[in-house]
Structure 1
Amino acid sequence: MNKTERQLAITLELQRSKVLRAEDLAAQFETSVRTIYRDIQALSEAGVPIVGSPGQGYSLMEGYFLPPVGFTAEEAVALLMGTDFIEQRLDAEYGSYSKAAKRKIEAILPETVRSESTRVRETMRLLHTGEPLTSEKEREYLAEVRRAILERCKISFKYVKKIPESDGNRDSRRKIAPYGLTFVQGNWILVAHCDLRQDVRHFRLSRMTELAVLEERFSMPPGFNLSRYRPPDDRNVLVLVRVNPKITDKITENGNYYLEAIEERKNDLLATFRVRQTEELLPYVLGWGGDVEVLEPEAFRRQVREEAEKIFKRY
């Protein structure tokens, strides 16, 4: 980033934020505080009304707005592909917003930039191979959950778990305080405080039914920030699997959440997985067939053998 680009970016940051310290700007733009001081002075001399408050930082004079800036073809492509993603993955309300945004972006682009961005976009396409599509039901629930989060309303729903509880049941009625939504590997995940479990839990929208927004309100916990939130890793069960090198790509290209490490050996590979329960890994092991062998734990070896015998009997 050259000096002119950095100074424009500083102005945009000041327009977006109320007050910023020189130290914060220096960290963001990976430069020295002295350089930020020089940039602020240059911007002030160019007529940008920057106000400095000792001990607090810099801000723009109230009412000042930077005139609209132009986009390069590459920047336009990034924005337009972002609107494509929103249309495909968010609810109908945001789908209409993204279409409107796309029309506005295309309308303000100079003809040369619009033509070039169209040419570049024609060479790329968003596909969902290997990822589940966002169903109509999920899109509807997404809109309701978003509203509940913004209005701080609790929600209730029936939830189906992937693995049964200790009592054998897979579904249960939940009432939760929704904190935020995140999109992971093609799935919308709701981060929320569960009244039943009295703790923060994660819920897939695709496993919800009978969702209802309640009148009961909740307060966000002090200091909670979704962008900084990291769930505790409670995968405490290690599974060792002997792997035929021919299917290494099957295991690694999936970006398997449970995969810890792969060790190359003389005639095979040793894969280490870490899971909460071995049932989580069972469908993958069965899918890999005779190209893998579970070494540990012994109970999981028996479980795989029993499932394989069930399959054999059916055929």
Structure 2
Amino acid sequence: MNRIDRLTAIIIYLQGRTYVTVEDLSERYGISGRTVYRDLAALQEAGVPIGSEPGRGYFIVKGYHLPPVMFDRNEASALLAGERLMQKWNHTEIGKSYLSALDKVRSVLPPDEKEYFEIQDEHMQAFHYKNEHLPQPDDRIFVWMQKAIFKKEVIEICYESPYKGEKITRNIEPLGLLLKDNQWYLAAWCRLRKDYRMFRLDRFHDFKLTGKKLPDSSDHTLKEFHARNLDKERELTEVTIWFKQDMVRLIGDSKYHHGWAWEKEVDDGLEITFLTSHPEYLARWSLLWGNGAKVLKPESVKEKAKALVKELYEHY
């Protein structure tokens, strides 16, 4: 991206946010903090009313706007690809809003770009695996949670525990919505457990505002939640499993869902190394392949697999 395009992009980025930090701009455009300061100074010298507030960041003075910005074909195509990914949620409020926004994008495209967009539309499709056994989240919940996060209020939830299958009631501080493994979660601070937790949206049975406002500068943030989770992910166990050659094709992409790290071919099959924070679960998964798979290391996971086999033998 040349500097003129970057300066324009920075104005657009600032217009869409209340405050923006130097770190945000540095990471977004792949430039140093010094370059960010130079770019902001250049925009101010050109008459763009950019202000700053200590501890919060930079902002554009209210009332200033660039003329309407046109989308180029690559940007429009990227939005179209996003729409295909969103199709799974087309029946929800967020899905309907995305479709409405995309229609507005179509309406402002120049004739040549519109033709390109329509051809892409006809030749782009997404196939989603539908698991009928999984409950679907309430259509209202996603938008409701967005509003609760904006209101900065404690919410009371009735939630089905994934471990015991029982309903639990909690007062939580909502922090953000996360997409993980094709499921939506609410990241929150649990006031009972006094710790960060993730709650899957399709396990909510009820949810309501409590009227208890959160402070503007809360100690519990999505950034801290993310940092805590990164620390947990760093505590990974390296597990190597051998797979018989005729099993490799059957495994397919499922290996990527279990922490695939690398693999190497051997004379009688494939050795795959996983990095996982759930080694016991990986041991259980390895048993799906019968004598077509064998845990090679570490010893603790090998012993766990043996214990599971013994347990199954005694059970049957």
Give the TM-score, by structure 1 length.
0.74
Of the two, which has the highest radius of gyration? 1
Superposed displacement of residue 175, structure 1: 0.8
> By percentage of residues, which structure has more helix?
2
Distance of aligned partners of 1:249 and 1:149 in 2 relative to their CA distance in 1, 3 Å threshold: farther
Among residues 214, 222, 229, which one is paired with 1:225 in the alignment? Answer: 222
Rounded to whole Å, the distance in 2 between the matches of 1:37 and 1:258 is 42
Superposed displacement of residue 180, structure 1: 1.8
Give per-residue Cα distances to partners, 1:283-310, cap 9 Å, x unaligned: 5223323311235432321213543675
Equivalent pair of 1:174/1:194 in contact (CA under 8 Å):
no
Q: Give the corresponding residue for 2:89.
A: 89
Q: Give the corresponding residue for 2:48.
A: 49
Q: Give the corresponding residue for 1:302.
A: 307
Equivalent pair of 1:71/1:109 in contact (CA under 8 Å):
yes
Q: How does 1:179-258 map to 2 (within 5 A)?
A: 179-206=175-202, 208-215=203-210, 217=212, 219=214, 221-222=218-219, 224-226=221-223, 229-230=226-227, 231=229, 232-233=231-232, 239-248=239-248, 251=251, 253-254=253-254, 255-258=256-259
Distance of aligned partners of 1:116 and 1:36 in 2 relative to their CA distance in 1, 3 Å threshold: farther
Distance of aligned partners of 1:132 and 1:101 in 2 relative to their CA distance in 1, 3 Å threshold: farther
Confirm or deny that 1:175 pairs with 2:170. yes
Q: Give the corresponding residue for 1:104.
A: 104
Give per-residue Cα distances to partners, 1:121-159, cap 9 Å, x unaligned: 222212224888996434343344334333323232232
Superposed displacement of residue 66, structure 1: 0.4
Q: Give the corresponding residue for 1:122.
A: 122
Equivalent pair of 1:73/1:117 in contact (CA under 8 Å):
yes
Equivalent pair of 1:241/1:271 in contact (CA under 8 Å):
yes
Distance of aligned partners of 1:293 and 1:138 in 2 relative to their CA distance in 1, 3 Å threshold: farther
Superposed displacement of residue 219, structure 1: 3.0
Rounded to whole Å, the distance in 1 between the matches of 2:266 and 2:67 is 62
Give per-residue Cα distances to partners, 1:27-79, cap 9 Å, x unaligned: 6544574697479548855xx43457899997655422100121122211222
Report the identity percentage.
23
Q: Give the corresponding residue for 1:69.
A: 69
Equivalent pair of 1:242/1:271 in contact (CA under 8 Å):
yes
| Structure 2 residue identity aligned to 1:225 | L
In structure 2, runs of 5+ residues without a counterpart are none
Rounded to whole Å, the distance in 1 between the matches of 2:4 and 2:220 is 36
Rounded to whole Å, the distance in 1 between the matches of 2:124 and 2:286 is 34
Superposed displacement of residue 174, structure 1: 3.6
Which piece of structure 1 moves more, 63-72 or 250-259?
250-259
Confirm or deny that 1:287 pairs with 2:281. no
Give per-residue Cα distances to partners, 1:179-208, cap 9 Å, x unaligned: 2221112111222223453321222223x1
